Structure 1
Amino acid sequence: MKQIPEYKGTLRSHLLTIPHCISECSGIRVFGRRIKSLVFSTDVAIIKNVNADAIIAVYPFTPQPSITQAIISVSDVPCFVGVGGGVTSGDRSVRMAEFSENQGAFGVVLNVPIANETITKIKQVVDIPVITTIVSEEMDIGGRLAAGADILNVSGAAKTPEIVAHIREKFPDVPIIATGGPRDEDILRTIRAGANAITYTPPTTAQLCSEIMVDHRSKFEK
């Protein structure tokens, strides 16, 4: 084990840190940056105060350039942003992808229902990775890759390791990002199944504030 000197400072010593076990995956190199960990968040306070290699910003509303710009402007690391695939799709997703690249996104993320034809159209207008979400091994994964998807984003809840293993068996060289789960053992299972990078969901600001307030109140209890 190499000894790694570390400086934490005073005011920033309580920054959010991702699980250390994520460092065991191979990572995915994007434009020269090796990315092993991605934090799943659109909270700019979380994004500014976490030590992940990248941000994956997907939210349950139609993609909006102002949200993308806010996230990218706050982040100190690459951002992979959602551009639709569900309610928002077709040519609107294509335009969003092109605009997101111009805003500085490192990649665009497409949700499950996206049509393969739309993936192809997006690949024709952007020079950043197109990431498509996979939730089941029954999906037409080969079709997604043939359409132009560069990276697969596996989000299968408890079944994620099994889906990753299935993909890795059929497509040994495809880059895979996968949700790791809340515990180290879950994350390691996903890595050992073949994931190259792990998405981590941090606690919310409400949860963090609640913990801080409990500590503050305890100082005044008799």
Structure 2
Amino acid sequence: MMTYKDIPRINGTLRAKSIQMPEVIWSAKGMVVLGRRIKSCIFTTDIAIIRNCNADAVLAVYPFTPQQIINTTIINTASIPVFCGVGGGTTQGVRTALIAKDAEADGAYGVVVNSPMQNGNIEMIKRVIDIPVIATVVNENTDIEARLDAGASILNVSAAAKTPELVRHIRAEFPGVPIIATGGPTDDTIRETIAAGANTISYTPPGLDDIFSAMMAEYRKEAARVDSPEEKEMILEEMLELI
């Protein structure tokens, strides 16, 4: 039987430094959303990262009032399915339904409502869209059955270090509900979250400052080598040979 490590992988030089999901995520069962199997979601709104990762989908949720132009830009830029944030603590009511409707028209695979969000608001959103409503769950006090009855199709569990415990709690009562959950910082925390019952893992990538720092350290070493007299002479000889 072919394992993940046995799968042939073809890459290019220019894309060699793209962000790779932790391989342990691929042991998750995943979920099929609108015909696409999704095991990993990258949690970001950074277009450069979205275009340079191997995640199955994007969880585009941010701490500001959702704006159509932001969702549209992410959806148009991404080459993978996008789940768009449409409201929660600050943004409520008819506005969330309008943003959700526009997100669906732009091609979103689902819309995410943050906590807190009234169930009546979820019902309103579900009445105007056909794509899934993903309800964020942050603690055990959430009435999961009421969320599902209101129209939520998927749960997004985000409870920091308590995420595996909360996933287990939900899974015991709702064995069939699709769950996206934060995987945490290590392979072990991701494994624990999957074992608890998460179908799909959301992964927070390193920030661009961290990526730049590592890359610039490499570039400085390369610049020092290229600027050496020996290297310059070798480059000149290679150029003369081409002529």
Give the TM-score normalised by structure 2.
0.89
Residue 156, structure 1, aligned to residue 162, structure 2: no
Q: CA–CA distance in 2 between the matches of 1:56 and 1:130?
A: 13
* 3-state DSSP of counterpart to 1:139: coil
> What does residue range 50-199 of structure 1 map to in structure 2 within 5 Å?
50-199=53-202
Shift in Å at residue 215 of structure 1?
2.0
Gaps of 5+ in 1: none
* 3-state DSSP of counterpart to 2:48: helix
Question: Which of these two proteins has the greater Rg computed from alpha carbons?
Answer: 2
Q: CA–CA distance in 1 between the matches of 2:141 and 2:91?
A: 23
Shift in Å at residue 149 of structure 1?
0.6
Tell me which residue corresponds to 2:208: 205
Gaps of 5+ in 2: 226-243
* Aligned partner letter, 2:85: G
Residue 48, structure 1, aligned to residue 55, structure 2: no
Shift in Å at residue 199 of structure 1?
0.1
* 3-state DSSP of counterpart to 1:128: coil
Tell me which residue corresponds to 2:37: 34
Tell me which residue corresponds to 1:12: 15
Shift in Å at residue 210 of structure 1?
1.2
Q: Which has the higher contact order (CA 8 A, sep 6+)?
A: 1
Give the TM-score normalised by structure 1.
0.97
Aligned length: 222
* Aligned partner letter, 1:187: I
Shift in Å at residue 51 of structure 1?
0.2
Q: CA–CA distance in 1 between the matches of 2:56 and 2:117?
A: 27
Shift in Å at residue 109 of structure 1?
0.2
Give runs of ≥4 in structure 1 deviating > 6 Å: none
Residue deviations 1:190-210, cap 9 Å, x none?
000000000000011121111
Shift in Å at residue 218 of structure 1?
3.8
Q: CA–CA distance in 1 between the matches of 2:121 and 2:214?
A: 44
Residue deviations 1:160-193, cap 9 Å, x none?
0000000000111100000001100000000000
Shift in Å at residue 85 of structure 1?
1.1
Residue deviations 1:58-103, cap 9 Å, x none?
0111101111111111111000000011111111101111111001
* 3-state DSSP of counterpart to 2:13: coil
Question: Higher helix proportion, which one?
Answer: 2
